[in-house]
Amino acid sequence: MVWVITVVDTVSKENYVLEIDKPNILVGRRSDNDVVVSNQSVSRAHVTMSRTPTGFVAQDTGSKNGTAFDDNDNWLPLHGSKEFNFPASIRVGSDTFLTINWNDVIDEAEAVMANYDDENDSDLSIVDCIDDEEHVAAFLVLDLCRSTDMSNRDETIAYHTKKRLEQMYQKSLNDVAHIFYKSTGDGFLTTFHDARDALKVSSDILHRTRTRNKQSNNPDIDIRISLHFGIFFEIGSDETGRDIHGNDVNITFRIEGLQQESFDDPQTDIPKINRTLCSRAFLDEVEDELQSKGMQVEFCGKAMLKGIQNPMEVFLVES
Q: Is 117 part of a structural domain of the chain? A: no
Instruction: Identify the domain boundary among 105, 120, 147.
Output: 105
- Quick one: 205 and 292 in the same domain? yes
Helix axes 195-215, 155-173, angle to 10 degrees: 140
Per-residue DSSP letters for 224-262?
A: EEEEEEEEEEEES-TTT--EEESHHHHHHHHHHT--GGG
Q: Mean pLDDT lowest for which of 259-273, 279-293, 300-314?
A: 300-314
Q: Is 172 part of a structural domain of the chain? A: yes
Q: Is 123 part of a structural domain of the chain? A: no
Q: What is the pLDDT of residue 1?
A: 61
Q: In what order do the strands lie in the sheet with 81-83?
A: 35-36, 24-28, 47-52, 55-60, 81-83
What is the rounded CA–CA span in Å between residue 223 and residue 209? Answer: 8
Q: Which tens digits make up the pLDDT trace of 33-63? A: 889 998 999 999 999 999 887 788 999 998 9
Return the CATH number at 38: 2.60.200.20
Instruction: Identify the domain boundary among 59, 87, 105.
Output: 105
Q: Is 184 part of a structural domain of the chain? A: yes
- Quick one: 164 and 204 in the same domain? yes
Q: Which tens digits make up the pLDDT trace of 82-135? A: 988 888 999 999 989 999 987 754 444 344 344 434 444 433 333 344 455 788
Q: Name the domain count of the chain.
A: 2
Q: Which residues contact 68 (CB under 8 A, 6 or more apart)?
A: 75, 76, 77, 78, 90, 91
What is the rounded CA–CA span in Å between residue 181 and residue 187? Answer: 11
Instruction: Identify the residue with better confidence: 131 or 186.
Output: 186
Q: Is 167 part of a structural domain of the chain? A: yes
Are 106 and 4 within 8 A, CB to CB? yes
Q: Is 54 part of a structural domain of the chain? A: yes
What domain range includes position 69?
Answer: 3-105
Q: What is the pLDDT of residue 58?
A: 93
Q: What is the pLDDT of residue 130?
A: 47
- Quick one: 142 and 217 in the same domain? yes
pLDDT > 90: what percent of the chain?
49
- Quick one: 92 and 188 in the same domain? no
Helix axes 195-215, 280-293, angle to 10 degrees: 70
- Quick one: 77 and 195 in the same domain? no
Instruction: Give the pLDDT mean for 157-173.
Output: 91
Residue (of 310, 259, 260) closest to 280 by Cα position? 310
Instruction: Identify the residue with better confidence: 173 or 1.
Output: 173
pLDDT tops 80 at residue 306 = no
- Quick one: 140 and 65 in the same domain? no
Q: What is the pLDDT of residue 129?
A: 44
Instruction: Identify the domain boundary among 84, 105, 126.
Output: 105
Q: Where are the beta strands (DSSP E) in the chain?
A: 3-9, 15-20, 24-28, 35-36, 47-52, 55-60, 67-71, 74-77, 81-83, 88-92, 96-102, 135-144, 180-183, 187-192, 223-235, 243-245, 275-279, 297-303, 312-317
- pLDDT-based confidence at residue 212 (cuts at 50, 70, 90): very high
Return the CATH number at 176: 3.30.70.1230
Q: Is 130 part of a structural domain of the chain? A: no
Its pTM stands at: 0.61
- Quick one: 87 and 194 in the same domain? no
pLDDT tops 70 at residue 239 = no
- Quick one: 170 and 265 in the same domain? yes
Residue 278: CB atoms within 10 A of its CB come to 30
Q: Which tens digits make up the pLDDT trace of 117-132? A: 444 443 333 334 445 5
Q: Is 161 part of a structural domain of the chain? A: yes
- Quick one: 97 and 211 in the same domain? no
Instruction: Give the pLDDT mean for 185-209.
Output: 95
- Quick one: 164 and 304 in the same domain? yes
- pLDDT-based confidence at residue 219 (cuts at 50, 70, 90): confident
- Quick one: 284 and 237 in the same domain? yes
Q: Which tens digits make up the pLDDT trace of 135-152? A: 899 999 999 998 877 777
- Quick one: 97 and 147 in the same domain? no
Q: Where are the beta strands (DSSP E) in 103-222?
A: 135-144, 180-183, 187-192
